[in-house]
Amino acid sequence: MERKHNLIGERLAVRGVREENVNLNGIISQLQTQLNDREQECFLCDVEISGLEERSGENLINMVSLIGKKLGVDLDDRDVVSVERSGPRPSAVEGGSQQRSRVVTVRLTRRALRDELLRAARVRRGADTSGINSGTPRRFYINERLTRLNKQLFYKAREEGRRKGWRYVWTSGGRIYIRRGAGTPAYRIRSDMDIEKFFGDAIV
Q: At what angle do helices 192-199 and 148-164 cross, to 10 degrees?
A: 10
Is the sign of the CA dihedral 190, 195, 198, 202 positive or negative?
negative
Distance CA 54, CA 60 (A): 10
pTM of the entire structure? 0.78
Q: Report which residue type is found at 99.
A: Q
Buried b (16+ CB within 10 A) or exposed e, 47-63: bbbebbbbeeeeebbeb
Tens of pLDDT, residue by residue over 10-56, are: 666 666 666 666 667 667 778 888 899 999 999 999 999 999 999 88
Q: At what angle do helices 60-71 and 111-123 cross, to 10 degrees?
A: 60
Going by pLDDT thresholds of 50, 70 and 90, the confidence category of residue 133 is confident
Distance CA 81, CA 46 (A): 10
DSSP class of 122: H
Q: Report which residue type is found at 11.
A: R
Tens of pLDDT, residue by residue over 52-101, are: 999 888 999 999 999 999 999 999 899 999 999 988 776 655 454 556 78
Q: Which of 69, 77, 79, 148 is nearest to 109 (CA)?
A: 79
H-run or E-run covering 124: none
Tens of pLDDT, residue by residue over 187-204, are: 999 999 899 999 985 443
Longest dimension (CA), the chain: 88
What is the structure's pLDDT at 79? Answer: 96
Average pLDDT over residues 144-152: 96
